[in-house]
Amino acid sequence: MIKTMKLQKALIAILLAVVALVTYLMSDEDSSWSKYLLELSGFLFMLGGFLFLYPILFSRKDKEGCVELDPEAPVQAEEKQNLQE
């Protein structure tokens, strides 16, 4: 299901954010680059959250009002209606 909804990028962004956060927590607080790790982690968490919402925000509706969450998939309802006629 993750593959069909195009959520691989979101999952990778969240995993990278967790790695950056763990690296920040393990680093010294006196390090000059530790704050950049925390900023990177926050940015990746926000990016991952947006990428998880992407299929919901840009979903398509068919003629019956059903929502298709995969934006690249063809609308199946039109094909079913043509077969019934």
**pLDDT tens, residue by residue, 11-61:** 999 999 999 999 999 988 778 888 899 999 999 999 999 988 887 777 666
Domain ranges for the chain, please list them: 8-84
pLDDT at 84: 60
| Closest alpha carbon to 13 in 41, 53, 55 | 41
> Rg of the chain over CA atoms, in angstroms?
20
Please say if the pLDDT value at position 77 is more than 60: no
Which letter does DSSP use for residue 65 in this model?
S
CA distances (Å), origin 43, targets 7, 48, 65, 69, 75? 17, 9, 35, 25, 34
Q: Across residues 56-76, what is the average pLDDT?
A: 65
- Under the phi-then-psi rule, with left for phi > 0, alpha for psi from -120 to 50, and beta for the rest, what region is 65? left
pLDDT at 20: 94
